Every structure is written in C-alpha cells, then in structure tokens.
C-alpha cells in the first residue's frame, strides 16, 4: 500500500489517477483548488472498499501551502510514496491574441505549480530514500504545438525539469516520471483561458479539437497507462499510440513537425478572415 498525493484531483486526469490508486488499495490525498470537488471525489473513492481517500483544498501556486500539505501527509503516515503534480490549465489563442496575463497564469500553475510540488516532495523522499514523483506535462511538451504557446512552453519546461531531476535522483532512491498525453477527454478542453481575457478559443474548445481528433483518449485509459508506466519506472509516459507516433515523428524530422503544425495555424487564420 502506498501513500499518494494527487493535485488537480477533483476532475479529469487527477480524478482518474486517484481512482486507479484507491482501486488497488492505496491511500490517496485528493487535492484541488476546488475543495467541494475534491471532497466529492474522495467520498466516492471511499465507497470502493479498497484503499482510502481524504480531501484537501490546495492552490498549487502557493508554495507554502504545498509544502505544508506534503509535510503534513508525511508526518501523519510516516511516508510519502507517490506524488502526482498534475494540476494545470489550458491556454488557447494565437500569440498576438494572448496577454501577459495568459503567460503569467500558465507559468504560475502549469510550471510553478509543478516546481512547488517537486520542491516540497523531493527533500522528503531523499530523506526516506524512496518515492516516485510523477509530473503531468503534455504531448505539447514534446512537439511544436501552436495556438497556445504559453501552454506549450510550460509543458516543455515540465518535461525538462522532470528528466533533469530524474538524472539527479536516480542513484538516491527517488524515481521521477513525466506524463505526456495528447488530447484527453477532460474538463480542461471545455475551460480554455479560465478567468483570463477572452480569445476566439476561450471557453469550450472541445468541439474544435474533436474535428481534428474525433476519438479523444479517456482519462481512465490514461490513468492505466500512468500506473503501468510507474510500475515500469518509465521516464516518459506518452499516450495514446497516436501521441507516441507524433513524438517519434517530431524527433526524426523536427522541420516536418513544424510544417504539420502550420496546417492548424492556417485553418485558424482562414477562419479569422471569414
């Protein structure tokens, strides 16, 4: 049985991961800035009859709050085995449509939220000589994804952070993995630019995304991929198969990957002219 923390656990990937962990008998602290949502998820998980779940409100942009919660879990349970730094937001729009508010919010949540989680969890795991940190990035952290480059930039940073930390931690008992899914059917797709200045892509972008990717991967399938990747101690957990193909293509021919991305930009520009 493992003791785990999941940020952004009230919905989407976080909820699916928390469910998979409790289903196998783990104890999970479901955290989210949406306290009611986290409480609801934890309550449902406690009906599964396997592991246990508790809930906590957590704003990952608050470094002190993250540190206090992670240290509290360690103090209560005597160990901190798994940390999923998963909370994130979606940013959409062409570069000239985005403000510094978009950039700063993406950096604060998608990047600094992960930094805060790592900064809190890593010393604990070093001291105990064990543990696994799992950071959620995106396929956008491996390929050139336009029309939302603050999101793309932060996800590239999370990939780099995770792989660099993995190298530092490898001989010290701590494991690090980074999750890079392509489009997953989660509320993130229906809440682009939350609380930020609007762009033509603000709000529900799910319909537009499904035109290009009709069969969205489910959070439940991704959670299974993540658990399997953790068991295998994979550095990069890339899913689904189409995402792995896109990643391989970008590695083999970066220029071609940029040209493919240009098609999406051309469509957006054409729509703006109508």
Q: Please state at what angle helix 112-128 crosses helix 63-77, rounded to 10 degrees.
A: 30
What pTM does this model have? Answer: 0.95
Q: In terms of C-beta distances under 8 Å and separation of at least 24 residues, what long-range contacts does 247-254 make, across chains too? A: 247/139, 247/142, 247/143, 247/180, 250/142, 250/143, 250/144, 254/144
Q: Which two tokens stand for residue 43?
A: 């309550």
Cβ atoms of residues 22 and 52 within 8 Å: yes
pLDDT confidence of residue 269: 75
Q: Which two tokens stand for residue 66?
A: 């993250």
Tell me how crowded residue 232 is: count the other CB atoms within 10 A of its CB. Answer: 9
CATH number at residue 157: 3.40.50.720
For the chain, what is the domain count?
Answer: 1
pLDDT confidence of residue 211: 62
CA-wise closest residue to 115 among 140, 87, 75: 87
Spell out the SS3 assignment of the chain. Answer: CCEEEECCCCCHHHHHHHHHHHHCCCEEEEEECCHHHHHHHHHHHCCCCCCEEEEEECCCCCHHHHHHHHHHHHHHHCCCCEEEECCCCECCCCHHHCCHHHHHHHHHHHHHHHHHHHHHHHHHHHHHCCEEEEEECCHHHCCCCCCCHHHHHHHHHHHHHHHHHHHHHHHHCEEEEEEEECCEECHHHHCECCCCCCCCCCECCHHHHHHHCCCCEEHHHHHHHHHHHHHCCCCEEEECHHHHHHHHHHHHCHHHHHHHHHHHHHHHHHHHHC
Residues of the chain with pLDDT below 50 are none
- Catalytically active residues are 151
**Domain containing 144: what range?**
3-273
User: Strand 131-136 and strand 82-85: pairing?
Assistant: parallel
Chain Cα centroid distance, residue 234: 16
């Amino acid at each position: 049985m493992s003791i785990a923390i999941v940020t952004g656990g009230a919905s989407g990937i976080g909820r699916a991961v928390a469910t998979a962990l409790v289903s196998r008998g783990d104890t999970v602290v479901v955290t989210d800035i949406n306290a009611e949502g986290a409480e609801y998820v934890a309550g449902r998980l406690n009906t599964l009859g396997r592991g246990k779940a508790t809930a906590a409100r957590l704003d990952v942009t608050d470094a002190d709050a993250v540190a206090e919660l992670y240290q509290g879990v360690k103090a209560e349970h005597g160990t901190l085995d798994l940390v999923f730094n998963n909370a994130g937001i979606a940013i959409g729009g062409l570069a000239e449509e985005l403000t510094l508010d978009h950039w700063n919010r993406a950096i604060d949540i998608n990047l600094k939220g992960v930094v805060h989680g790592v900064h809190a969890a890593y010393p604990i795991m070093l001291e105990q000589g064990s543990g696994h940190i799992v950071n959620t990035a995106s396929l956008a952290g491996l390929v050139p994804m336009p029309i939302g480059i603050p999101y793309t930039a932060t996800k590239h940073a999370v990939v780099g952070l995770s792989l660099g930390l993995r190298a530092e931690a490898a001989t010290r008992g701590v494991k690090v993995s980074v999750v890079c899914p392509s489009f997953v059917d989660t509320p993130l797709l229906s809440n682009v630019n939350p609380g930020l200045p609007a762009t033509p892509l603000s709000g529900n972008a799910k319909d537009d995304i499904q035109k290009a990717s009709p069969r969205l991967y489910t959070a439940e399938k991704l959670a299974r991929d993540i658990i399997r990747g953790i068991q295998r101690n994979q550095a990069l957990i890339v899913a689904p198969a189409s995402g792995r193909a896109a990643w391989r293509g970008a590695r083999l021919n970066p220029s071609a990957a940029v040209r493919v991305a240009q098609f999406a930009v051309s469509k957006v520009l054409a729509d703006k002219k109508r």
